[in-house]
Structure 1
């Protein structure tokens, strides 16, 4: 989850089991899916990336395969034997290690367990206002549960994250990481200290643990366009960006 996803999604062979749990839950703490989250979530099928980014929904191993976030599946009970064999087998290079591991995996992909049509319909809407309005006017269990989840997230960061994923869909990895580096800076410098959504979210979840974040603005409907746009204004000129050498 979170940073662990950032590391694992950069791997050339992503292995999951029935015990795996994958998520980018950053909106829960007033942050956004960083560490490349915009890039790999925006490459999920349909509007699944927007849904996962805004809600922080957890995927199991099989669903991760269907979402394009894992390459192979193996039963957890077989892992110890796989690692022991790996340690005792000679290999020419890293590529041969990868091929050997892949030969022990299931790569069949089942249909994801999420309501794909509903997600595409709702999370393909133009903005968060339209998304929450549509969900709350729908009496289905999924729509009501999803709306309730979004109402507990940082309203400001929901708007920021939707913009992030949609921008990232048209960016390469290096440009996406440069964008996210600026966004992280803005999370702590647009509203320093207690005024930062991220600081407040961490306080509520991990420090005081009261699970009662005081978001600002308090409601999704109160977030203005200028507040969102500020997160995408780089604090550095292109030639001075700390990640300017990424290719």
Structure 2
């Protein structure tokens, strides 16, 4: 790696050890800490260092700036990488392979990892945080898995970790990409504590106060150091809509039936907004997402990652991803030309195709996960 790229690479991830705690800061505040491939590799390196360093007792993940923990992968960079891949060697796929391996490692890491999810947390940011042993949100937190809006499926383990929610809430959040607040996150299992954002300004000072001679576990010591005060998790805005969500998403047999039910049912502000959100998404990927989320409820974490990688591979190489990113992020005309454009023209065989792995079992890039 040349000097210029090495410096950029190191600056995008800040790493320091404070009183036996490794503090990893995602450091792209102007990009809302979106993950580049080099950042994924760097965090993976840091994890391996911490795994073998006896003097490190735990890890804290946080985002630089005051707007976001992490908005996910760098979608524009990925789009440009795919578009420039004239050799068709699918070099872009390695980003997802490395990201999923990192996320899987976080779920199974031997030492406690703490995710400070202040501000926006989307996509890849959720992948980093949901495997952590301690997940802390604030009143400023907004969590979402909005991949369907760009012709993708919720990934980074979402088909596994979203099942902590009731099925109807999982489908609602996964299909619409709806944003959850900090209290929502605690109420529905995406976070362990909601604290005032001001409490996270002195993380280093709090970590310095940890007494490692105490008899508590490392996780509990970190919890006691970082969780000073909490907010009331009963004030979860999403709960006000739980009955409506259950009636539309709880009993539906497909994404198409959900959209039809919203269109034909009683028109309220909520139902209209929800229908409009779904109407902007790729019909094919809504149906794929519906099935993937339901399938994931009965699968292991490793199998969920393998399923997601297959879907992502097909979605980027032959699906709606490039068109979704073009319409929403690159050209910003907000007029994606989905294939097909409507549920009426969607063949069930196409949905099944996206859910079918492109690789034989022993040749899957993530075959080693869970072995």
Structure-2 separation of matches of 1:119 and 1:158: 16
Note if 1:109 corresponds to 2:237: no
2:332 to 209, 230, 238: 209
The within-5 A match list for 1:129-140 is 129-137=256-264, 138-140=266-268
Question: Within 1, Cα distance between the matches of 2:155 and 2:133?
Answer: 20
The aligned counterpart of 1:64 is 185
Tell me if structure 2 keeps the 8 A contact 1:72–1:102. Answer: no
Superposition pairs for residues 27-106 of structure 1, below 5 Å?
27-91=148-212, 94-101=218-225, 103-106=227-230
**Could you state the TM-score of these two structures normalised by the residue count of structure 2?**
0.62
In the TM superposition, residue 42 of structure 1 has moved relative to its aligned partner by 2.4
Say which one has the larger Rg.
2
- Alignment: residue pair count: 242
Q: Does 1:239 align with 2:362?
A: yes
Give, in angstroms, the shift of residue 145 of structure 1: 1.1
**Helix, strand or coil for the counterpart of 1:166?**
helix
Larger RCO of the pair (alpha carbons < 8 Å, separation 6+): 1
1:137-180 CA distance string (max 9 Å, x none): 22122111111110011111101100110000111111111111
- After superposition, the C-alpha distances for 1:43-77 in whole angstroms (9 at most, x for unaligned) are 21241010001100011101111111111011011
Measured at CA, do residues 237 and 84 of structure 1 come closer, stay the same or move farther in structure 2, by a change above 3 Å?
same
Q: Which has the higher strand share?
A: 2
User: What TM-score do the two structures reach when normalised by structure 1?
Assistant: 0.91
Decide whether the 8 Å contact of 2:133 with 2:219 is kept in 1.
Answer: no
Q: Which runs of 5+ in 2 are unaligned?
A: 1-121
Give the aligned partner of residue 128 of structure 1. 255
The answer to whether the Cα contact below 8 Å between 1:54 and 1:161 also exists between their aligned partners in 2 is: yes
Q: CA deviation at 1:16?
A: 0.4
Does the C-alpha gap of structure 1 residues 101 and 122 become closer, same or farther in structure 2, counting only changes over 3 Å?
farther
Retained in 2: the 8 A contact 1:72–1:105? no
Q: Is the contact between residue 14 and residue 71 of structure 1 (CA under 8 Å) also seen in structure 2?
A: yes
Looking at structure 2, the residues matched to 99 and 47 of structure 1 have their Cα atoms a distance apart, in angstroms, of: 31
Equivalent-residue separation in structure 1 for 2:219 and 2:237 (angstroms): 33
Displaced runs of 4+ in structure 1, greater than 6 A?
Answer: none
Identify if the C-alpha distance between structure 1 residues 205 and 87 changes in structure 2 by more than 3 Å, giving closer, same or farther: farther
Deviation at 1:5, TM superposition (A): 0.8
Report how far residue 104 of structure 1 moved. 2.5
Q: Does 1:24 align with 2:152?
A: no
SS of 1:216 mapped into structure 2 = coil
The CA deviation at 1:130 is 1.3
Alignment partner, residue 300 of structure 2: 172
Which residue of 273, 276, 290 maps to 1:148?
276
* Aligned residues of 1:67 and 1:112 also touching (Cα < 8 A): no
Q: CA deviation at 1:209?
A: 1.7
Gaps of 5+ in 1: none
Cα-Cα RMSD:
1.8
Aligned to 2:345: 222
Matches within 5 A, 1:176-191: 176-189=304-317, 191=318
